[in-house]
Amino acid sequence: MKIRSVLSAAVVSLPLLAAACSSSGGAQPMMCYGANPVASEVNDYTFMSTFALPPVTVKSMANLTFDWGSLTMDFLKHPLSATADVNTVTVLIFGPGVPLSSLAPKLNSDSLSATDVYASPPPSIMPSGGQTTAMLYDFTLNGTAIPMAMFNSYFDPTVLTPDKYSFMVAAASGTTIGQGFRMLQTFQLDASSSNTMIKLTNDSTQLSYSANLHSLTITGVPGGTAALTLDWSAMVAAGAKNGLGATFKDGYVTNAIVGHYTETPAELEAKFLDLNLIAKPGEYYTAALTSSTMLDFSTLKDMSSGAPFPGIDSTGTWLLGLICGNCRNPAPWYMTILKPCMM
């Protein structure tokens, strides 16, 4: 269990200024904040996730084959087309200081930094024409060919020793190197191995998680209107924790979502990785933010139709999420439940 940090008085006091409201009908508390609520930890959810990255062993200094043709799901268990959705395949070398044993922990804590990626930009290939396999020596550095000798020097475990370095292949959607990862497969090099095949399967990355939406204080806002804002600058100023337990820093939140669901909060916790898929049709609203500390709800548009956000109503469950689009962990930094409430 993640334990929330002690908040500064500034952050704690903000919800106390809000008018008391009727409860949400259950044990979950709710506070009415008017049209311009200020985000706080008490209104935020909590999320924990764990990656497991079982490696395969392959021959070192060899022209390895990468095969992602059997992929049908990504590590979020979302459907994936191996031919249509895998747009970039990248080989990542981590280290020094990132052996295989510390790679998953660093991913879990979202503490993997650019300096941990040894070869940067990493070798990559962009499949075309339904391609589902690629040979290592065909990978390039941003389109620039890599000499075979250079590949072999980097894929030599006597040079990049396993106590300091680790290797991974990543299948991604989109063509921005380092983003949009859908499946990860680690591998380790062994001169005595005869295996040169690395297959990415639905189990190459095993993700377990827990989301808690039932302990937060519901954010009460006026219903039926998009004339709402949410300001999280106080959380930034106070160094408050985000839903993942990390410091809520300025500039990190890039996107916001508001979704309307028929499910209860408890049911949504169980389907947390599918929030973008299970929202009521035409009621999954997104916004790319310009301000780093405030959401103007009138900028939200339905992702499929582009229809503007009309405001919330009293049916089902409304979720608001703030997302760090540049972070490795895609889980929202902030997520709260919205309910109509008049001050």
Tokens of 227: 């004339």
Residue 265 is inside which H or E element, if any?
Answer: helix 265-270
CA atoms within 13 A on the CB side of 311: 14
CB of 245 to other proteins, least distance (A): 16
Question: Under the criterion CB under 8 A, does residue 144 sit at the interface with other proteins?
Answer: yes
Looking only at residues 256 through 295 of this chain, which bind other proteins when binding is defined by CB under 8 A?
Answer: 288-294
The gap from C-alpha 294 to its chain's centroid, in whole angstroms, comes to: 20
Question: Under the criterion CB under 8 A, does residue 175 sit at the interface with other proteins?
Answer: no
Contact indicator for 313, 221 with CB cutoff of 8 Å: no
CA atoms within 13 A on the CB side of 174: 7
Distance CA 152, CA 170 (A): 20
Residues 6+ apart with CB under 8 A from 141: 121, 123, 124
Of 5-13, 25-33, 155-163, 306-314, the window that binds other proteins (rule: CB under 8 A) is 155-163
Question: Under the criterion CB under 8 A, does residue 342 sit at the interface with other proteins?
Answer: no
Question: Under the criterion CB under 8 A, does residue 142 sit at the interface with other proteins?
Answer: yes
With CB under 8 A as the contact rule, the residue among 12, 56, 126, 141 that binds other proteins is 141
Contact indicator for 127, 86 with CB cutoff of 8 Å: yes
Question: Under the criterion CB under 8 A, does residue 128 sit at the interface with other proteins?
Answer: no
Question: Under the criterion CB under 8 A, does residue 199 sit at the interface with other proteins?
Answer: no
Of 15-23, 249-257, 263-271, 277-285, the window that binds other proteins (rule: CB under 8 A) is 249-257
Nearer residue to other proteins within complex by CB, 176 or 315? 176
Question: Under the criterion CB under 8 A, does residue 328 sit at the interface with other proteins?
Answer: yes
Question: Under the criterion CB under 8 A, does residue 96 sit at the interface with other proteins?
Answer: yes
Of 15-23, 65-73, 217-225, 248-256, the window that binds other proteins (rule: CB under 8 A) is 248-256
Nearer residue to other proteins within complex by CB, 128 or 290? 290
Distance CA 235, CA 13 (A): 12
Distance CA 261, CA 23 (A): 20
Question: Under the criterion CB under 8 A, does residue 153 sit at the interface with other proteins?
Answer: yes
CB of 9 to other proteins, least distance (A): 20
Distance CA 115, CA 93 (A): 11
Of 68-76, 194-202, 208-216, 324-332, the window that binds other proteins (rule: CB under 8 A) is 324-332
Question: Under the criterion CB under 8 A, does residue 179 sit at the interface with other proteins?
Answer: yes
Nearer residue to other proteins within complex by CB, 108 or 292? 292
CB of 199 to other proteins, least distance (A): 26
Question: Under the criterion CB under 8 A, does residue 143 sit at the interface with other proteins?
Answer: yes
Query: Residues 16-55 vs other proteins: string with x where CB under 8 A?
Result: ----------------------------------------
Distance CA 170, CA 20 (A): 49
Distance CA 198, CA 8 (A): 50
Contact indicator for 182, 171 with CB cutoff of 8 Å: yes
Question: Under the criterion CB under 8 A, does residue 121 sit at the interface with other proteins?
Answer: yes
Tokens of 273: 């990785």
* Count of positions on this chain that bind other proteins (CB under 8 A): 43
First to last CA, the chain: 34
With CB under 8 A as the contact rule, the residue among 109, 113, 304, 305 that binds other proteins is 113
Question: Under the criterion CB under 8 A, does residue 201 sit at the interface with other proteins?
Answer: no
Nearer residue to other proteins within complex by CB, 35 or 117? 117
Distance CA 183, CA 202 (A): 8
Which candidate, 289, 279, 281, places its Cα nearest to that of 322? 289
Residues 6+ apart with CB under 8 A from 188: 55, 56, 57, 58, 100, 157, 162, 166, 167
Residues of this chain that bind other proteins (CB under 8 A): 96, 112-121, 141-144, 150, 153-154, 156, 159-160, 176-179, 233, 249-254, 288-294, 325-328
